[in-house]
Amino acid sequence: MILKAGIFMATILIVEDDVAFATMLKTFFKKRDYKVETAFSAAEAFKKLSLQPFQVVLTDVRLPDKDGLEILLEVKANYKDVQVIMMTNYAEINMAVKAMKNGAFDYVSKPFQPESILQTIENALSQKSVVSEKGISAKSRVKENGKTAANKLSSEFVKGVSDAALKLIDYIELVAPTNMSVLIMGESGTGKEQVAKSIHDKSKRKGAPFVPVDCGAIPKEIASSEFFGHLKGSFTGAIQDKTGHFEAANGGTLFLDEIGNLDYGLQMQLLRALQERKIKPVGSNSEIKVDIRVVTATNEDLAQAVREGNFREDLYHRLNEFSIQVPALRDRSEDLMLFADHFLDEANAELEKEVIGFSDEVIEAFENYSWPGNLRELKNTIKRAVLLTQDPIIPLKVLPHEIASANKMDDSYSFFKNKNEESLLLDALEKAQGNKSKAARLLSIDRKTLYNKLKQYNIKL
């Protein structure tokens, strides 16, 4: 075997029925001197395990004939030295928690890039599993204490897997390297500031300040001072010089949240500052040059505000060189548990707790609820639940009544209640362009059920 960074390059068994994904992983690991075998079903995996030794089994949770838990139990019963890593999608986090209780080394959430799992593989070979005091192998939880870790987590941009999320990510990647002004639109609580911060972090200005400003929280009387600064003695109460938001953001990005709340008179001053790239602090006779990028956000219809005369048209066009629509949480259900897991990490760090997951009933309640408050409501709900729960898994009883008692939303794919199952199957497969995993998500069923239905209706791809 080849030695690399103190770890013998072992043989990995990849158990994954998505042939293209399995082949991609195999190629990646082979280029890094690992020996790799693939199996596309549990039966094939069991056969290969009996024929040769493996050090790591990387298995999907859902397979055509069995699930990953059965593979895990088989490995732990008969091949005690083999480490098992589970691959899950957003809806299978709870199953992954069960797998860890049964001895899985770790789990990774799909979709992921191969580079992100390489360290997990190496840790598994070194047997450096992170184990809690209760003997449950936890996924990579934040180890810093208190609010430092929570603040670090809350500033992260969580990438989703839904079509809406992928479109959002594409737009961010496209506009970030430019100096274009960006208008971010979306309902309250959808994470517009995280999108703005992601744009800044991916831009050429990432080493310079990112200054967020809530336009709705600035009183009209001091707005000019807040934005452009003032000199000592320039007005009653000006007891010292003040640096405004424009100057503070010099060289970086100024993020103006809820720009629609800006007073009409201040809109003209803002337009002038953006056009001339100069500001004049209150009480000063000299101008200061500023080099900033402006990113704005609103939950209002600014175009309508322009038509109604409440927002300057020239400023609107200056701010809207490129626009991004952030989807509501109800329109990206595939991302729900990704965000829930992130907020769980955040709450654990801030509250210094070690809650590791959600009960099946909680996941069902989350999926049934419409989340009118979007990500902000989800974050607050999870933080409250973490505070209240005394268990490793969050139970239904700690959720607010309106969430715990929510009925499942109606959608176009009420699969098991519909008599036209075959038509829905074909329609979903067409929308997913033959991608079975995506089709299963559209139908709100797991892949094993999809395979059974395809076999039932004799649908061949």
Mean pLDDT for 110-126 is 76
Tokens of 287: 């101008």
Q: pLDDT (tens digit, 9 = 90+) per residue, 11-34?
A: 999 999 888 788 888 888 888 888
Domains of the chain, residue spans: 3-126, 163-325, 329-404, 415-456
Mean pLDDT for 349-372 is 91
Mean pLDDT for 309-337 is 93
Q: pLDDT (tens digit, 9 = 90+) per residue, 73-98?
A: 889 888 888 999 988 764 455 666 67
The model carries a pTM of 0.60
In sequence order, which residues have a C-beta less than 8 Å from that of residue 349 and are 6 or more positions away?
141, 142, 144, 145, 146, 147, 149, 150, 153
- Specify the range with the lowest mean pLDDT, choosing from 48-57, 189-198, 299-308, 414-423: 414-423
Query: Strand runs (DSSP E) across 307-428, as ranges?
Result: 322-325, 357-358, 393-394
Mean pLDDT for 52-80 is 88
pLDDT at 120 > cutoff 90: no
Write down the pLDDT at residue 408: 60
Q: pLDDT (tens digit, 9 = 90+) per residue, 218-265?
A: 888 888 888 999 998 888 777 888 889 999 999 999 999 999 989 888
CA 265 to CA 406: how far, in whole Å? 45
Query: Which CATH homologous superfamily contains domain 163-325?
Result: P-loop containing nucleotide triphosphate hydrolases (3.40.50.300)
Write down the pLDDT at residue 142: 34
CATH class in words for 415-456: mainly alpha
Asked whether the beta carbons of 366 and 377 are under 8 A apart, the reply is no
Write down the pLDDT at residue 31: 84
Write down the pLDDT at residue 414: 46
Fold agreement between 3-126 and 329-404: no
Does domain 3-126 sit in CATH 3.40.50.1980? no
Asked if residue 209 has a cis previous peptide bond (ω within 30° of 0), the answer is no
In sequence order, which residues have a C-beta less than 8 Å from that of residue 165 and are 6 or more positions away?
159, 327, 332, 334, 335
CA 145 to CA 399: how far, in whole Å? 26
Average pLDDT of the chain to the nearest whole number: 83
Write down the pLDDT at residue 153: 54
Write down the pLDDT at residue 454: 83
Write down the pLDDT at residue 194: 94
Q: Tell me how many degrees the CA angle 277-279-281 measures, rounded to the nearest 5.
A: 170
CA 97 to CA 204: how far, in whole Å? 40
Write down the pLDDT at residue 347: 93
CA 318 to CA 181: how far, in whole Å? 7
Tokens 């109460």 locate to 237
DSSP-assigned beta bridge partners for residue 350: none
Q: pLDDT (tens digit, 9 = 90+) per residue, 123-143?
A: 788 764 333 333 333 333 333
Mean pLDDT for 269-289 is 92
Between helix 146-154 and helix 336-351 the angle, nearest 10°, is: 160
In DSSP notation, 270-335 reads HHHHHHHSEE--BT-SS-EE---EEEEEESS-HHHHHHTTSS-HHHHHHH-SEEEEPPPGGG-GGG
Q: What is the CA radius of gyration of the chain?
A: 26
Residue 229's region, left for phi above 0, alpha for psi from -120 to 50, else beta, is: left
Asked whether the beta carbons of 192 and 297 are under 8 A apart, the reply is yes
The CATH code of domain 329-404 reads: 1.10.8.60
Mean pLDDT for 292-307 is 94
Most confident of 91-100, 120-129, 347-356: 347-356
Tokens 């991608």 locate to 435
